Amino acid sequence: SQQGEEDPQALSIQEGENATMNCSYKTSINNLQWYRQNSGRGLVHLILIRSNEREKHSGRLRVTLDTSKKSSSLLITASRAADTASYFCANRETSGSRLTFGEGTQLTVNP
């Protein structure tokens, strides 16, 4: 399988805590992207980090990328109950066409 792996598969935290999700991939990439999916809905793009970038921020989101380890992490700070969702990473291969997703992390934020 060319799918990446995400870790943990499930994460349960209290409101106000930080949530960290990790992602590994297998190929050389052009960029790596994180998405969010609420139950029963389509995926929504959160943030994209290019292969020559090491860290990127967007609001309460912080993404890091380590191309030497073929891994990325997503940090959500000061989590809210509304952050409860599944989070997926996706890598865009260097060739540019294929967009491959990981298996996702189910985040539950308890009020």
Please give the residue ranges that form the binding site for other proteins (CB under 8 A): 1-3, 6, 30-31, 33, 35, 41-45, 48, 50, 88, 90, 92, 96-104
Q: Report the residue number, 24 or 100, with the smaller CB distance to other proteins.
A: 100
Smallest separation, CB 107 to other proteins (Å) = 14
Burial of 56 (0-12, 13-18, 19+ CB in 10 A): middle
- Looking at the DSSP bridge assignments, the partners of residue 106 are 10, 86
Smallest separation, CB 14 to other proteins (Å) = 26
Q: Look-up: residue for tokens 């967009």?
A: 99
Phi, psi of 24 (to 5 degrees): -125, 155
Q: Report the residue number, 42 or 111, with the smaller CB distance to other proteins.
A: 42
Smallest separation, CB 16 to other proteins (Å) = 28
**What is the number of residues in the chain?**
111
